Structure 1
Amino acid sequence: MFNIGLCGVNMQYSEISSIQEIVDTAAKLPFFSSVPKERLKNAIMKCESVTADASEALFKKGESYHKGLYILLNGRVRMTDGGSREVIIDSGGVIGVSTFVGKSTYRVTAYADTACLMLFMPELYVYKLMEDVPEFRSSFHSLVSERNAELEGRASWSVASTTYKPLGSYMSSPVLAVNSSASVLEASKLMAEANVGAIVIVDDENVLKGLLTSKHIVQRFIPDMQNNPTDISAGKYMERNPVALPAEYPLVEALAQMQHTRADYVVVVSANSPVGILSNNDISKMLFHNINVFVTYVDKLETLDELKKAYSDMYSVAASLMENSRVSYDILPVLSSVHLNIQRKIYRLCGEEYYKETGFDLTKVRHTLMIMGSGGRREMALDPDQDNGFIFDDSVTDEEIAMFIKFGAKYSDALEYVGYEKCRGKVMVTNPDMSLRISDWKLKISRWVSNPGSIGIMWSSIIFDFDGFAGDEKLVWELRNHINQNINNSPIFLIQMLERDSGLRIPLSMFGKFIGEKDGKHKGEINLKSSASAFIVDVIRAFTLKHGLNDLNTVERMKTLRRMNVISEELYLHTLEAYETVVDIILKSQVEKAATGVHVNKYINPDELSLYNRERLKKALGHVQKLLNIGLRYFKGHP
């Protein structure tokens, strides 16, 4: 189906007014000259049309890759690196080819010099054209070489990094396959013999029909056995629409598709026949291997100054991860693991120094140091503050608690020195209200749930996302069980929490205009944490607490809620997309700020976003408002 508009950008036709005219126009372009017209029409039906007014940016230097190419039908586009190098693309040209190859961030900014009409072709269909039409593949590679020469003064493929590596370079081949008529038992035996978790299902012509995994056998076949089915063929229980991609498709993009559809495997195909297979775990290990090097580096640091330097270098880790992943929310747990490693090292150094100064050994007292908020959820970006507290066993004395609070001041100052700002809401170990015995914590939480007030709601939104950081994990489990039990007995708390959110403003007018800060140093800007991501986190947390779930990470919470049919597939996908958009824009902005020495925060200027990201953000904010309304109706008992 031909889509009018990219991310809500309405298309107004001038000279071109029908799909057939677009196909006829595209067929005349040098880029598509080798593609048979009927085959070209099939590809264009998968494209999206996009318009840009003069001076609008299609994408900006350093922005995340848009996962496809822009084909300019009418108009003129100017690409600049911000310096002396500039390239003009006229009607018939292709925009974004170098980044298409490198799979990193854009190396130039592309502005519409005049009003432009374009096709946006998702990269999957570009790769399919490459596979089906060898001449197109050759001409495309020539275009990449020419464009690199224009932009960098040399014709090369140097922009391609390990992130571009195609599936064909890593796939397991030959692939294990059986006919769709084979029994599940036959397929299971082959899987056991080969020690694999999946087997490809084909027809008599070796055309891919589906995929059978060990998960399908457990979740579909075994429960059905009690019904004495007459048909136990693999074709009955297989996944009929597995992720199937050409061998030249990039590894990093395959992972993004698998994450979006929650697939465990990708089947590599050629002319619709399976030629290889890769698992989600295999790809993740390849792409995120380098982060382990940085974590190991942190483990070897022994001074606060060294840890401060590691913290300041976090933006380069984030930039590398953004080049190695097309799903930005998956970067947060990886960044969080580095942050937490730094903070654990600070905790150990401070604990050792405190023992030398006072003779007080923290490890001799039964306690847990909790990390809360984004740290507990493993959603730290580049500017996490200090959200932490102590849980003590009821046997701990007042004198011992006093010693811990003195230590907490030392630890908090060290965290601040390294780069972690102190929590403005005082949710820190230096606050006696955040350093309590387990029975006192239970009493405090019971009071919040029964009569929260503004402070109770504010603190609970941070504290309820807590995890053990150091010490006795059993205290964490005990407190978490208490929270779940109290929420079940008093669901009105969740309504009050979401009603507070619903009273806050989503920064988007009914006419689709962004509403920025009216004055102050952030005038015209939007805080994407307080006006977008926090709402998503709050609603998903409410659903999680309502059903007594223990997931902490927002994406993992969404997956569990969908699996339990608490939320619909549509709501899950749209919320995931909105969350991804917000996280992607925040991380990109933070990396830019850190690299240029600007204070890192979660404010963005929507006027500085490209056309693509402005429309993505509008769509995301619109869904956030819808999500809040759905949450309130759900907890108030309305359909």
Structure 2
Amino acid sequence: MANSIAARVADFMGKHPPFDLLPQAELLALASEVTIAYHPKNERIFSENQAPKDHFFMVHKGAIALKRPSTQNLVDLCDEGDVFGLRPLMAQEQYKLDAVAHEESILYAIPIAVFKPMAVAHKEVGDFLIESFASNTRNPYSRQHRGKLYGESSSTPPGPSETKLFDFQPVPYSKKIVCCESGTPVQEIALKMTEKKVGAMLIVDKGLPVGIITDIDLRDKVVSGKFPITASASEIMRSPVITYPKQLTVTQAQMALMKSGINYLCLTQDGSPNSPAVGMVSEHDVMLAVGNNPAVLMKGIKRARKTKHLKPIRNGIQQLLADYLELNLPMRLTTKIISELNDACTKQVLQIALSRMDTPPPVPFAWLSLGSQGRSEQLLRTDQDNALVYADVPDTEAEATKTYYTELARKVTKRLHKIGYDYCPAEMMASNPNWCHSVSDWKTKVTEWVSSPGPDEVLLSAIFFDFNLSYGDEKLVNALSDHVFDTVAKYPVFLTHLASGALKNPSPTGFFRSFLVEQNGTHKDQFDLKRRALLPLTDAARVLSLSHRIKSINSTEERFEKLAELEPNNAQLYRSCSYATKALLKFRVKQGLLHNDSGRFIALDSLSKEEKIKLKRTFKTIKDLQDLLGIRYNASNRI
């Protein structure tokens, strides 16, 4: 008699990678060895440093939270069809994370002894699990394992996907630090650097890094005759030292070197200059480790002197995004890298536009990214939202100054359009005089929005209050930011109106948890992922961040992480919101890349059952968040 339970297990496993890559007979044989286990909410499946089990896991129903034990921060949330607990299979090591049932869950325990020969026989299965292991643990498979599967030797060179994964390997660094005190003479430093064959000397005070001297500094400052060879280290060193934690990845190191225009990074115990140095990273070390990664794109951006040179680079960024999603790399890291590259494109466009102006800027100014770009969430090429703020000038110069910056903004928005960013249909762009003002005029406008909040004022403030500096004078932005917080504190009723505006976004589901789709128009019968799922989260995060006066954090998921710290009693909800934001953003980007559009509207019949389940999983979090918002601000339909 056929094993009906094994058949049902095989049927479920066969719908998900990597098991869908196995021949049916092998899949059924594996399923017959699987153990099914029920875990109530909050039950621990395994803990950090626990001895490895003889099986790994697949989620059949429910969700499993993977957390860092030291901080209890959520690393990943595994839904139906996800695999986890791969460390015993991949590295024969103790677990590095805690795995806890986020809700009632049913798991399949897959025996390693039975599965391993199948994975070795089917290379594509092993490749998938290597990538899954890298992304789920947020620590890519170590370099010495490349070309190997589960510790078995192989002479096969790393493939393309493995090369991409190395972008996220820990950066190689030298633990042999050559250092001296700040009073050491330059001549002695040069001799010691020559003796040790190093290109940099770390300057320390009481064991802590306070400066650095490189061979370039010796050339530019001593050999040039600006300082004598008897000068002390403190006279020519670069200070403060740019420090990072030793967990820095190759990609992060390249971005840091490129962004800062330096050749060496100092790694310390906690990533700050207030702890002892543990290593040094040179540009040469990093470039030897990997050849082609985001830093190459960054270098190309900074070298671009014409807009047409940026367009292919912008296409390269889009391809990089697609590669990262295909590898299932952590969304936070993907978002940060892509946003950094997009921001660099904006900066370069501004520099190109400034070079085309007849005269230099008359007063300091700042270019502000608004909306999704201001939140570092504009991964796809959607439309522009930006503004410009400039320093106050006498009344006699006001008109000429505004004309100058409006013309500059026109050149910038035109060039951004050329490299792939559509014009904003509502003209919420700095090229529109209504979005180009002096700092005093912007303060006046903010005061008007906050003190007399109607539907239009709430809408405009919701877009504007996510502003982020892309280029220019940081002092102007800080002054504007302080004014926003001060004005909101002065008119607290504004938060109620803003919360009511956030609650205007309709629920994602209707009766029987069915998706609410568009009833008419171009997107009839499609699901509006932005309006019904993402906006409720971003709008709520904005209201709560304003109420807590949270500065310098614009990303929605990072805002929720900060809120979890500030409100321990609501920490679980806020962390769920952070996860939901990343999951929905990732889903939208995947849909946008698949259909070559913004990913906003989704044809539900094109989704698999598992995709629909994962979407619906975020909806309860959205409802709970909107309930909290309504109760806290007594907000419902005030606008």
User: Normalising by structure 2, what TM-score?
Assistant: 0.60
Q: In the TM superposition, what is the alpha-carbon distance from 1:622 to its structure 2 partner?
A: 2.4
The residue that corresponds to 2:118 in the other structure is 143
**Contact conserved, 1:449 with 1:487, CA < 8 A, in 2?**
yes
Cα–Cα, structure 1 residues 287 and 318, in superposed 2: closer, same or farther, change >3 Å? Answer: farther
Please give the secondary structure, in 1, of the residue aligned with 2:311.
helix
CA distance in 2, matches of 1:91, 1:532: 38
Q: In the TM superposition, what is the alpha-carbon distance from 1:434 to its structure 2 partner?
A: 1.0
CA distance in 1, matches of 2:493, 2:550: 18
Q: Does 1:347 align with 2:338?
A: no
Q: Does 1:91 align with 2:89?
A: no
Cα–Cα, structure 1 residues 620 and 573, in superposed 2: closer, same or farther, change >3 Å? Answer: same
1:529-577 deviation line (CA, Å, top 9, x unaligned): 2221121111111111011110222222222222222662211221122
Please give the secondary structure, in 2, of the residue aligned with 1:91.
helix
2:405 aligned partner, one-letter code: F
The residue that corresponds to 1:211 in the other structure is none
The residue that corresponds to 1:58 in the other structure is 15
Cα–Cα, structure 1 residues 350 and 629, in superposed 2: closer, same or farther, change >3 Å? Answer: same
Alignment equivalent of 1:327, drawn from 330, 351, 363: 330
Cα–Cα, structure 1 residues 57 and 540, in superposed 2: closer, same or farther, change >3 Å? Answer: farther
**Contact conserved, 1:528 with 1:602, CA < 8 A, in 2?**
yes
Q: Does 1:413 align with 2:414?
A: yes
1:358-406 deviation line (CA, Å, top 9, x unaligned): xx322x3222222211222222211232111121222152112112212
The residue that corresponds to 2:488 in the other structure is 487
CA distance in 2, matches of 1:369, 1:485: 22
The residue that corresponds to 1:260 in the other structure is none
Q: In the TM superposition, what is the alpha-carbon distance from 1:526 to its structure 2 partner?
A: 2.0
Q: In the TM superposition, what is the alpha-carbon distance from 1:578 to its structure 2 partner?
A: 1.1
Cα–Cα, structure 1 residues 406 and 417, in superposed 2: closer, same or farther, change >3 Å? Answer: same
CA distance in 2, matches of 1:540, 1:406: 34
Cα–Cα, structure 1 residues 150 and 354, in superposed 2: closer, same or farther, change >3 Å? Answer: closer
Q: In the TM superposition, what is the alpha-carbon distance from 1:460 to its structure 2 partner?
A: 0.9
Please give the secondary structure, in 2, of the residue aligned with 1:131.
coil
The residue that corresponds to 2:303 in the other structure is 300
**Contact conserved, 1:298 with 1:307, CA < 8 A, in 2?**
yes
Please give the secondary structure, in 1, of the residue aligned with 2:417.
helix
**Contact conserved, 1:383 with 1:601, CA < 8 A, in 2?**
no
Deviates more, 1:497-506 or 1:424-433: 497-506
Q: Does 1:122 align with 2:83?
A: yes
**Contact conserved, 1:315 with 1:382, CA < 8 A, in 2?**
yes
Q: In the TM superposition, what is the alpha-carbon distance from 1:472 to its structure 2 partner?
A: 1.7
1:545 aligned partner, one-letter code: L
CA distance in 1, matches of 2:90, 2:403: 69
Please give the secondary structure, in 2, of the residue aligned with 1:570.
helix
Cα–Cα, structure 1 residues 327 and 606, in superposed 2: closer, same or farther, change >3 Å? Answer: farther
Alignment equivalent of 1:620, drawn from 618, 621, 627: 618
The residue that corresponds to 1:464 in the other structure is 465
CA distance in 2, matches of 1:132, 1:620: 33
Structure 2 counterparts to residues 440-451 of structure 1, below 5 A: 440-451=441-452
**Contact conserved, 1:318 with 1:591, CA < 8 A, in 2?**
no
The residue that corresponds to 1:579 in the other structure is 581
Q: In the TM superposition, what is the alpha-carbon distance from 1:448 to its structure 2 partner?
A: 0.8
The residue that corresponds to 2:516 in the other structure is 515
CA distance in 1, matches of 2:631, 2:316: 44
The residue that corresponds to 2:374 in the other structure is 376
The residue that corresponds to 1:208 in the other structure is none
Cα–Cα, structure 1 residues 462 and 129, in superposed 2: closer, same or farther, change >3 Å? Answer: closer
Structure 2 counterparts to residues 94-109 of structure 1, below 5 A: none
Q: Does 1:436 align with 2:437?
A: yes
**Contact conserved, 1:374 with 1:384, CA < 8 A, in 2?**
no
1:416-470 deviation line (CA, Å, top 9, x unaligned): 1211111122211122121112222111111111222122111111110112222
**Contact conserved, 1:387 with 1:428, CA < 8 A, in 2?**
yes
The residue that corresponds to 1:570 in the other structure is 572
CA distance in 1, matches of 2:447, 2:435: 15
1:73-98 deviation line (CA, Å, top 9, x unaligned): xxxx6x69xxxxx9786523479xxx
Q: In the TM superposition, what is the alpha-carbon distance from 1:168 to its structure 2 partner?
A: 11
Please give the secondary structure, in 1, of the residue aligned with 2:513.
coil
User: Normalising by structure 1, what TM-score?
Assistant: 0.60
CA distance in 2, matches of 1:167, 1:330: 9
CA distance in 1, matches of 2:480, 2:567: 27
**Contact conserved, 2:383 with 2:421, CA < 8 A, in 1?**
yes
1:124 aligned partner, one-letter code: G
CA distance in 2, matches of 1:611, 1:524: 17
CA distance in 1, matches of 2:540, 2:367: 26
1:140-166 deviation line (CA, Å, top 9, x unaligned): 4431243248999xx978586156679
Cα–Cα, structure 1 residues 456 and 94, in superposed 2: closer, same or farther, change >3 Å? Answer: farther
Q: Does 1:131 align with 2:134?
A: no
2:435 aligned partner, one-letter code: M
Higher relative contact order (Cα pairs below 8 Å, separated by 6+ residues): 1
Q: In the TM superposition, what is the alpha-carbon distance from 1:15 to its structure 2 partner?
A: 5.0
1:18-56 deviation line (CA, Å, top 9, x unaligned): xxxxxxx69xxxxxxxxxxxxxxxxxxxxxx98978xx9
Please give the secondary structure, in 1, of the residue aligned with 2:122.
helix
**Contact conserved, 1:87 with 1:151, CA < 8 A, in 2?**
no
Identical-pair percentage: 20
The residue that corresponds to 1:591 in the other structure is 593
CA distance in 1, matches of 2:341, 2:478: 24
**Contact conserved, 1:336 with 1:379, CA < 8 A, in 2?**
yes
Deviates more, 1:511-520 or 1:424-433: 511-520
Please give the secondary structure, in 2, of the residue aligned with 1:161.
helix
CA distance in 2, matches of 1:539, 1:453: 18
Cα–Cα, structure 1 residues 136 and 301, in superposed 2: closer, same or farther, change >3 Å? Answer: same
Structure 2 counterparts to residues 88-487 of structure 1, below 5 A: 90-93=27-30, 122-124=83-85, 127=88, 131=92, 140-148=115-123, 158=159, 161-162=162-163, 290-323=293-326, 326-355=329-358, 360-362=359-361, 364-395=362-393, 397-487=398-488
CA distance in 2, matches of 1:288, 1:537: 37
1:486-545 deviation line (CA, Å, top 9, x unaligned): 111222222212222323322322312222223333233223222211211111111110
Please give the secondary structure, in 2, of the residue aligned with 1:516.
coil
Please give the secondary structure, in 1, of the residue aligned with 2:297.
helix
CA distance in 1, matches of 2:124, 2:388: 59
Cα–Cα, structure 1 residues 571 and 169, in superposed 2: closer, same or farther, change >3 Å? Answer: closer
2:557 aligned partner, one-letter code: V
**Contact conserved, 1:301 with 1:307, CA < 8 A, in 2?**
yes
Please give the secondary structure, in 2, of the residue aligned with 1:383.
coil
CA distance in 1, matches of 2:80, 2:389: 57
Q: How many residues align?
A: 443
**Contact conserved, 1:333 with 1:378, CA < 8 A, in 2?**
yes
CA distance in 1, matches of 2:389, 2:399: 13
CA distance in 2, matches of 1:581, 1:265: 32
Cα–Cα, structure 1 residues 161 and 137, in superposed 2: closer, same or farther, change >3 Å? Answer: farther
Q: In the TM superposition, what is the alpha-carbon distance from 1:57 to its structure 2 partner?
A: 8.9
**Contact conserved, 2:167 with 2:290, CA < 8 A, in 1?**
no
2:448 aligned partner, one-letter code: R
**Contact conserved, 2:10 with 2:28, CA < 8 A, in 1?**
no
Please give the secondary structure, in 2, of the residue aligned with 1:369.
strand
CA distance in 1, matches of 2:627, 2:600: 24
Unaligned runs of 5+ in 1: 1-13, 17-24, 27-48, 60-64, 71-76, 81-85, 96-117, 175-191, 197-250, 253-263, 267-276, 279-283
Cα–Cα, structure 1 residues 600 and 119, in superposed 2: closer, same or farther, change >3 Å? Answer: closer
2:577 aligned partner, one-letter code: T
Q: In the TM superposition, what is the alpha-carbon distance from 1:325 to its structure 2 partner?
A: 5.4
Q: In the TM superposition, what is the alpha-carbon distance from 1:265 to its structure 2 partner?
A: 11
Structure 2 counterparts to residues 547-558 of structure 1, below 5 A: 547-550=548-551, 551-558=553-560
Q: In the TM superposition, what is the alpha-carbon distance from 1:292 to its structure 2 partner?
A: 1.7
CA distance in 1, matches of 2:510, 2:332: 26
The residue that corresponds to 1:182 in the other structure is none
Q: In the TM superposition, what is the alpha-carbon distance from 1:608 to its structure 2 partner?
A: 2.1
